[in-house]
Copies of this chain bind each other. A is one copy, B any other.
Amino acid sequence: MLKSKEGTEKGEVGFYLKALSLKSLEDVESIKEDVSNRFIVILRITPLANKDVGQLKEAVEELYQFITAIGGDIARLGEERIVLTPPGVKIWRGLV
């Protein structure tokens, strides 16, 4: 992974943050891959929620188990989103 002067001044490996929309169960694999690659993912779940609530539940459950297994973190953000973090990024529970 490339390091930049701005992000990682002390040679520390950095993280990335991306915003995505969950449109189907098939998106789950690439989201897992992103989190494995040090991406914090802010996931808008409304597209799948509006289409198939059963699939949404399945997707969130699968992501929850994955995140728990790798030592990351997961939380709801408002009505429309969830946040997933890789190991090394903890979600502060005060207001999420």
Name A residues whose Cβ lies closer than 8 Å to a Cβ of B: 1, 3-21, 38-40, 42, 44, 71, 73, 77-78, 80-81, 83, 85-92, 94-96
Contacts and interface: CB of A to CB of B under 8 A. Distances in A.
A21 B94 CA distance: 12
Contact of A1 (B11, B15, B83): B11
Classify the interface of chain A: helix, strand, loop or mixed: loop
28 contacts: A1-B11, A1-B12, A3-B13, A7-B13, A7-B86, A7-B87, A8-B87, A9-B88, A14-B89, A15-B15, A15-B90, A17-B40, A17-B73, A17-B83, A17-B89, A17-B90, A17-B91, A18-B92, A19-B83, A19-B96, A20-B95, A21-B95, A39-B92, A40-B89, A42-B42, A42-B77, A42-B83, A78-B81
